Amino acid sequence: MQEQRVTSWLELQELLFAGSWNEPLRRFRTNFVFRGVPDATLDLTATLNRQGAFVRQERDLLRAFRKYARGVPGTEHLTSIWDWLALAQHHGMPTRLLDWTFSPYVALHFMTERMDLLEQDGAVWCVDYHQTNRHLPQPLREQLRVEGADVFTGEMLASVAGDLAAFDGLAEHPFVLFFEPPSLDARIVNQFALFSVMNGPGLSLNDFLGHQHQGVRRLVVPAKLKWEIRDKLDQANITERVLFPGLDGLSRWLRRYYAPRPR
């Protein structure tokens, strides 16, 4: 893993979009996905296994979520366990998934959204999914090849592993893959969101990526630069009003936008 402390807005842009030229397509299309964290000391532990609180209850949690969520508008078209898992993560249930985005600016938003942490250094994780795909077991790599895809959908995953037990049994070594959830709502769409998942509820993505020598960058952003980033994102309309459509997002944006900066 490469770690670098950035010193300016322009340097940050260069690093976020480094290597984005795709020669076969002759387009600027990066292979990286991004995750912004407001405190650089935070790791990539999923909610399911933070402090080991829910690891043993993963099956119970998901079974109960599916049971009680049935009948709620939007759930009638969910078919695979992966779509149900994505829905649960989207609404705050502890899962083994982690939120990522294809957009570096959305990642910067989540790095700078919390006013109470703007005085803390932040970080942006950048992961090349082409590199992580090389560690996938053969059935998953074959599925990507057949579909001509770089990341998975719930349907693609379900065709290889219909449940979490089958998924975990695909390989003895740890691996991570990225998959796009169905367009559950405008929030998923506007955030250009996708999830990471590992083949075990207790596995650490932080440890896995930390041992990767290629395709993983961690950009540490000093606190004094976060204020400039936040103001420029607001001017570019990368705000809660867009990323959380509706009155709740509007209120979140107004509360933050009009908050005074501490001296």
Q: What angle do CA 81, 215, 181 make, to 5 degrees?
A: 20
Distance CA 155, CA 164 (A): 14
Does pTM top 0.85 for this prediction? Answer: yes
**What are the mean pLDDT values of the chain's consecutive 10-residue runs (263 residues total)?**
94 94 90 97 87 77 91 81 93 94 98 94 97 96 96 95 95 96 91 96 89 89 96 97 96 93 76
Per-residue confidence (pLDDT) for residue 189, from 0 to 100: 95
Helices (H) and strands (E) in the chain, counts: 13, 10
Per the structure block, which two tokens stand in for 172?
Answer: 């003895």
Please check whether residue 107 is in contact with residue 124, taking contact to mean a CB–CB distance below 8 angstroms: yes
Per-residue confidence (pLDDT) for residue 146, from 0 to 100: 96
What are the residues facing 122 on neighbouring strands?
221
What are the residues facing 196 on neighbouring strands?
98, 178
